[in-house]
Structures are given as C-alpha cells and as structure tokens.
Amino acid sequence: MTLFLFVLAGILIAAVRGRKDRTFTPSQIVNAHALWLPVAGFLLHGLFDWAPSFALRTAGPLTLSYELCILLFFFFNRKERFPAILMTAGTLSNFAVIAANHFRMPVSPAALAMYPGLTPEAVAAKKVNYFIASNGSRLYLLADVIPLPLGKLSGFISVGDLLLGVGLMLFTARMMIRLPKPEELTM
C-alpha cells in the first residue's frame, strides 16, 4: 500500500510540474518498458497473503522470483537513471535483509510498540513472511524499523521501502511528463 501512495505522489508531481500543452492521465505510466514485470512480481509477492502455507514452503525461490521481476523491470527502464538507481538500491536492500533472515522481514519491536494492541502474534498471523526482531535479526537497520502512522494505512517500512518508493515516485512523474517519441505517436 505504501508503494501505491508513492505512485500517487508521482502522479501529483507530474500534474503540478507538467507541461502546459499536455493533458496528463495515469495511463501514461504505460510508457515504461516491460510494465508486466512489476505486476508479475507483486502478484508473486501476494502469494504470501493468498496462499501462506505454500509461500512459506517456497519462500526462497518465491522471494527470488518476485525480486527478479522487479529488478528486470528496473533494468529495462535504466534510461531513467536516478529513479532506476533508487529503486534498484531499495529492492536490493529489502532482498538482502529478507534473505539474511530466512526469507522473512524483521519488524522493529520499537516500531511495533507505537501501535497499541498490535502484538507480535497479530503480526505473525497477518503477515507470515514477517517476524518481530525481539530475538535479534541480521541486517537489522535494513529491516522494517520505521513506523508509518497513517491511520488505517499504518504499518512499518524499511530504508529499502523508502528508496524504492522515492524512486517509484520520481519514475512515475517522469513517465507522465516525458514527451512521447515520434515513433510512439504512430503506434
């Protein structure tokens, strides 16, 4: 959900900073190459919510598959250098901490404490690929240690999520502001 908020921020930036002679629509994001890759990656990641027992049995290959989809998308869109670098750094950061912790993302106990009533058991029941880092974890500073107090959208994010989100916001804005190439107009 957090990434969706960053996409909306990118659309807002494009609307504010856009060219006067153009009309902006969210569909302009399809200017990105291989847009099906992040969609496939997010669907694969969704298996942790939709089929948790299967996802836990295949956590390593599943995580590698969805992260690879995301990284390939960034590779195919590498002409957007700065956003692609940010998104790649965020994805690799998240992958590193997840892989180092048996393919589960640690959540900070301090961040958890900011939400009364949210217990480690509730987090484990809701998100099978997360755990509370009360007994330690590897690469803890890259884990979900940043609380995100947004009412019903509240949760935890990592440094990787921030990098990925800011990159995604800039990428979305650039895709919407970019003037189409002549060959794109004839398609």
Which pLDDT tens digit goes with each residue over 143-177?
998 888 777 667 789 999 999 999 999 998 888 87
Please give the backbone phi and psi of residue 120, each rounded to the nearest 5 degrees, phi first. -55, -35
The answer for residues whose C-beta is within 8 angstroms of residue 153's C-beta and 6 or more apart is: 1, 2, 5
Query: What is the 8-class DSSP label of residue 149?
Result: -
The residue ranking higher by pLDDT, 95 or 114, is 95
pLDDT in tens, 7-56: 889 888 888 877 555 655 555 555 578 889 999 999 999 999 899 899 98
Q: What are the boundaries of each domain within the chain?
A: 2-103+158-185
Kind of pairing between the strands at 130-132 and 105-107: parallel
Residue 187 is predicted with a pLDDT of 46
The residue ranking higher by pLDDT, 4 or 43, is 43
The residue ranking higher by pLDDT, 34 or 61, is 61
Amino acid at 92: L
pLDDT in tens, 111-143: 777 777 777 777 777 788 888 887 678 999 999
> Residue 41 and residue 102: Cα distance in Å, rounded?
19
The answer for residues whose C-beta is within 8 angstroms of residue 186's C-beta and 6 or more apart is: none
The residue ranking higher by pLDDT, 152 or 69, is 69
How sure is the predictor about 99, in pLDDT bands with cuts at 50, 70 and 90? very high
b/e per residue 146-183 (b: at least 16 CB within 10 A): ebbeeeeeebbbbbbbbbbbbbbbbbbbbbbbbeeeee
Amino acid at 122: A
Neighbours of 91 (CB within 10 A): 23
> Residue 42 and residue 63: Cα distance in Å, rounded?
11
How sure is the predictor about 185, in pLDDT bands with cuts at 50, 70 and 90? very low
> Residue 58 and residue 45: Cα distance in Å, rounded?
12
Report in angstroms the alpha-carbon separations of 9 from 14, 37, 52, 124.
9, 22, 31, 30
Task: With 0.85 as the threshold, say if the pTM is over it.
Answer: no
